């Protein structure tokens, strides 16, 4: 149908579903946050995304969210996604200091890896920043 020029407007709260569409408009509380292709939105996320596995995700989320250089921290299933501020080499320092900082707060990091941004990461980043398109 798309090849025939038919446009369908779909509303979903499932960002993994939104990744399948040609264009996505991110809305929050009636405000337009961003509009683009899913690929462009994910590629355009400023800042590295780290996925952490810990024994206490909620405590890790709260502690990570208070650290300098962390823009957002959100629980995704059994992982914590941490979005770092986009300041180039500084984000590498924040990434390497994250596990020790959490350990100092009594939270053991079992695993930490840099990952590609998902639509969920993009949405959370836009909501945290309060940005509009």
Residues 6+ apart with CB under 8 A from 48: 83, 84, 86, 91, 95, 114
What Å distances lie between residue 66 and 71, 123, 125, CA to CA? Answer: 9, 20, 15
How confident is the model over 14-56, as pLDDT tens digits? 898 999 999 999 999 989 999 999 999 999 888 889 999 998 9
Q: Are residues 71 and 133 part of one domain?
A: no
What pLDDT, on the 0 to 100 scale, is given for residue 7?
A: 84
Q: Which domain holds residue 33?
A: 1-45+118-133
What pLDDT, on the 0 to 100 scale, is given for residue 131?
A: 53
pLDDT at position 89 over 60: no
Q: Are residues 100 and 52 part of one domain?
A: yes
Q: What is the pTM of this model?
A: 0.82
pLDDT at position 132 over 70: no
pLDDT at position 106 over 70: yes
The count of structural domains within the chain is 2
Task: Give the residues across from 34 on adjacent strands.
Answer: 26
CATH number at residue 80: 3.30.70.100
22-28 contacts at long range (C-beta below 8 A, 24 or more positions apart): 24/119, 26/122, 26/123, 26/126, 28/123, 28/126, 28/127
Q: Are residues 107 and 50 part of one domain?
A: yes
């Amino acid at each position: 149908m798309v090849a025939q020029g038919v446009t369908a407007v779909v509303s979903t709260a499932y960002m993994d579903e939104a990744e399948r569409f040609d264009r996505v408009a991110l809305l929050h509380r009636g405000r337009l946050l961003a509009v683009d292709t899913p690929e462009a939105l994910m590629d355009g996320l400023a800042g590295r995304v780290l996925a952490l596995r810990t024994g206490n995700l909620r405590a890790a989320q709260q502690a990570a969210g208070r650290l300098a250089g962390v823009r957002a921290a959100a629980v995704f299933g059994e992982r914590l996604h941490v979005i770092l501020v986009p300041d180039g080499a500084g984000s590498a320092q924040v990434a390497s200091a994250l596990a020790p900082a959490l350990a100092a707060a009594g939270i053991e990091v079992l695993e930490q890896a840099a990952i590609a941004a998902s639509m969920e990461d993009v949405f959370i980043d836009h909501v945290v920043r309060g940005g509009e398109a």
